[in-house]
Amino acid sequence: MDGILVLVRHGESEWNKLNLFTGWRDVDLSEKGVEEARRAGTLLKRDGLRFDLGFTSALKRAQRTLDLILEETGQADLSIVRDQALNERDYGDLVGLNKDDARQRWGEEQVHIWRRSYDVPPPGGESLKDTAARVIPYYEAKILPEVKAGKSVIVAAHGNSLRALVMVLDKLSQEEVLQLNLATGVPLIYRVDSDGVTIGKRELTV
């Protein structure tokens, strides 16, 4: 029996709305983010999906997104594992800065390299490669075995931690993953066989 893995990037946060680098700073969802999370739950319920287990990060914007989704699907009592291995990429010295201000301070090209290169971290922070180095082993040790066993698992996390997972699931190269942008609150549904191989993928939109 194939397993189901659903990935959802948290709804818009208060700092997303203000165009700030967030990283590990623990900010909450904006009003729009709450709506996005609830809509994701409504779509998943309409799709008939029921979950056996949930995973999320140690940050409340992802945790609250998962809580709101499960509320909408009628599974508020689902067992949830929270772990900082699924946290957003740490933006180091950029955290709390407006992205436009950062460009003025360090230059457009340098900020673009920090945001969009695979292995160049911002000062004091993590590159996407660093993020993948903690996310992927956690996925392989904790999440994948549940999916390979035929369970339905939902993961609510962050743009960069989920990019690392999609890189594995879709077999993307380091160059290809840099072009990947995940929308907030839009569920990605993977069908995975007992060997852990992706055999189907779809995006759940209105």
The secondary structure of residue 170, as a DSSP letter, is T
Burial class (CB in 10 A: 0-12, 13-18, 19+), 168: middle
CA distance 94 to 106: 10
Give me 123's structure tokens: 């000062």
Residue 160: closest CA among 117, 189, 99: 117
Q: What is the mean pLDDT of the chain?
A: 96
pLDDT tens digits for range 26-74:
999 999 999 999 999 999 999 999 999 999 999 999 999 999 999 999 9
Three-state DSSP at 101 gives: helix
Model-wide pTM > 0.85: yes
Residue 206 has pLDDT above 90, yes or no: no
CATH code for the structural domain at 3-203: 3.40.50.1240
Residue 1 has pLDDT above 90, yes or no: no
Return the higher-pLDDT residue of 151 and 205: 151
Residue 6 has pLDDT above 80, yes or no: yes
- Residue 205's pLDDT is 86
Average pLDDT over residues 139-152: 98
Indicate which residues carry an active-site annotation. 10, 88
Residues 6+ apart with CB under 8 A from 174: 118, 119, 129
Give me 91's structure tokens: 């933006």
Residue 81 has pLDDT above 90, yes or no: yes
- Residue 119's pLDDT is 96
Domain ranges of the chain: 3-203
